[in-house]
Structure 1
């Protein structure tokens, strides 16, 4: 398993429009994609910073995982995403090494990616694996 880079840092926010203003108007960065991920009850804004990105995430439902995260821990760092070339192989390698997986099978992510989350009990932080789309 080879990790290519930190693909993005996910930040949970209550109000994505307000958060976008901070990154664009105050920090001078640019949003390159805003996308609703219906099956995850989330709206995301992607902000490139050098070789990585910031992913702002707002829940679109009170029952969504982001809403529950914010209710429990408040707004802030949600996850770190690591980019891999072969997500299925990476998941198998990690599983073989005893790492607990949230997603045993990859699923569709934003920007035409394939993603899977690792359980924070085994990694001390919520990690996401990302395989870029074609």
Structure 2
């Protein structure tokens, strides 16, 4: 059963690991990789990735990407959202901290942020405006 707008936005706002997919070059299948993301109901979804990463280069070339999040319990539920890139901006330590706090226990955030900021290279934030949604809860009757 498809989720209502409120249900799908609430589900996407939870801290799931997303599968990001973006069109690839040269007749290859889409690049699909796991990624942390941030989303608040009614807003844009955003990711942080390396400026020089293949992922960022493909996103910039395609001008859009999709995210798929799912869970298995208590029922199988998923939300897929796709849309255009509406902004690309330099990553900041504050945004890295926000993203890290979404996924890591509080006591691990500072250590991870320090390590990532020093070792992961220049980062960018890519914002996507959700345009097309596909969702379902396969356990609802």
Range class of TM-score, shorter chain: under 0.3
The answer to which structure, 1 or 2, has the higher relative contact order (CA under 8 A, 6+ apart) is 2
